[in-house]
Amino acid sequence: MRLAKCLTERPVVTTMVTTVVRQLKQISTRFSIAVHALSLIATNPAECTGDYIAGSVNTNPVVIRRIIGMLKKAGLVDVRPGVGGASLRQDPERITLLDVYRAVNAAEDDHLFRIHENSNIDCPVGQNIENVLRTELEQAQALMEQRLAQTSIAQLLAKFAR
């Protein structure tokens, strides 16, 4: 069969593809640590130094400052060099888990699923798979994100025991 040959006898030259990298990141603990930090700040802004938050999260202060920096860049918190403590820039009712998720770059480029590229376009499947699958996966991802958007930091705090 022609297609069989076309697919099996791959040209050896394909190794030229410089690998664009663009690696999708996993959903790291940055996300949960960020939520933790925001919960602390919402509760007790005055004491929220990097060291203090690190003491509650039980990690290194630099890890915390890195994450706080991302939250600051996203407009969620206020921090000033030299002066201790941090404060929310929005009401805790208005900061959702999705805001935090996005702020800490939980998923690269807003794509949770990574899809292989360079499929063989001489093959009916290779020709179509990327677009069709992308549509499906984007819908799945959207549902997840909608759920994240439904919970605010304030709602989270309200669920704490006592």
Partner DNA sequence: ACCTGTTGTAACCGTTATTGTTATAACTCA
Partner DNA sequence: TGAGTTATAACAATAACGGTTACAACAGGT
Helix or strand (DSSP H, E) at 160: none
Euclidean distance between CA atoms 38 and 135, whole angstroms: 33
Query: Phi/psi of residue 116, each to 5°?
Result: -65, 145
Q: Please choose, from the candidates 35, 129, 142, 149, the residue with its C-alpha nearest in 3D space to the C-alpha of residue 88.
A: 35
Query: Phi/psi of residue 152, each to 5°?
Result: -100, 165
Window 137-156: contact mask with a copy of itself (x via CB under 8 A): x-xxx-xxxxxx--x----x
Q: How far is the CB of 19 from DNA (least distance, A)?
A: 7
Window 84-123: contact mask with DNA (x via CB under 7 A): xxx------------------x--x-----x-x-------
Residues contributing to the site for a copy of itself (CB under 8 A): 1, 3-4, 6-10, 14, 24-29, 31-33, 35-36, 39-40, 43, 47, 49, 51-52, 54-59, 97, 112-116, 118-120, 123-129, 132-133, 135-137, 139-141, 143-148, 151, 156, 159-161
